[in-house]
Amino acid sequence: MKKATIFAFALLFSTLCAAQHKGGKNQVPAAVKSAFATQFPTVNKVKWEKEGEHFEAEYKLNKTEYSAVFDAQGTLLETEMEIPVSQLPSDVAAYMQANYAGKKIKEAAKITNSKGVATYEAEIKGMDLKFDSNGKFLKAAKD
């Protein structure tokens, strides 16, 4: 009898935990999913992540990685597209040579905000470097 009671309690507890997880903070609002589907109708596979108060959709098109960030109401805040390092503005190379000589850029991306303003990101070991559309350094952030 004791084993049956313990088993029933464990089953009830695990069910409650699982139900709580599915409806938790990381659930993507319907408005966000709808806005994504409207703006990117050809995308079939999406991986969602919560970024602070925002929601990021990661997806691939033609072997290129993209992401789109939305607020909780479904407003598109920015898009990011992986680009070859050679497509970074030329001033990025000069900045890298002067400040991070010998470091290799692992990945590069073009980020466009909702107003159409583009910035660039260069990922080096343990750090993301941000540049404006002309290649002028803006800031560094640790991975």
- Residue 49: inside a domain: yes
- Buried b vs exposed e over 81-115: b needs ≥16 C-beta within 10 Å? bebeeeebbeebeebbeeebeeeebeebbbbeeee
Q: What is the pLDDT of residue 26?
A: 62
The model's pTM: 0.77
- Residue 111: inside a domain: yes
- Residue 4: inside a domain: no
Range(s) of the domain holding residue 123? 27-142
- Residue 15: inside a domain: no
Q: What is the pLDDT of residue 18?
A: 40
Q: What is the pLDDT of residue 143?
A: 74
Domains contained in the chain, number: 1
Q: What is the pLDDT along the chain (143 residues), one digit of tens a residue?
A: 444 433 333 333 343 334 333 444 569 999 999 999 999 999 989 999 999 999 999 999 999 999 999 999 999 999 999 999 999 999 999 999 999 998 999 999 999 999 999 999 999 998 999 999 999 999 999 97
Q: What is the pLDDT of residue 25?
A: 53
Q: What is the pLDDT of residue 1?
A: 43
73: CATH: 3.10.450.360
Q: What is the pLDDT of residue 131?
A: 97
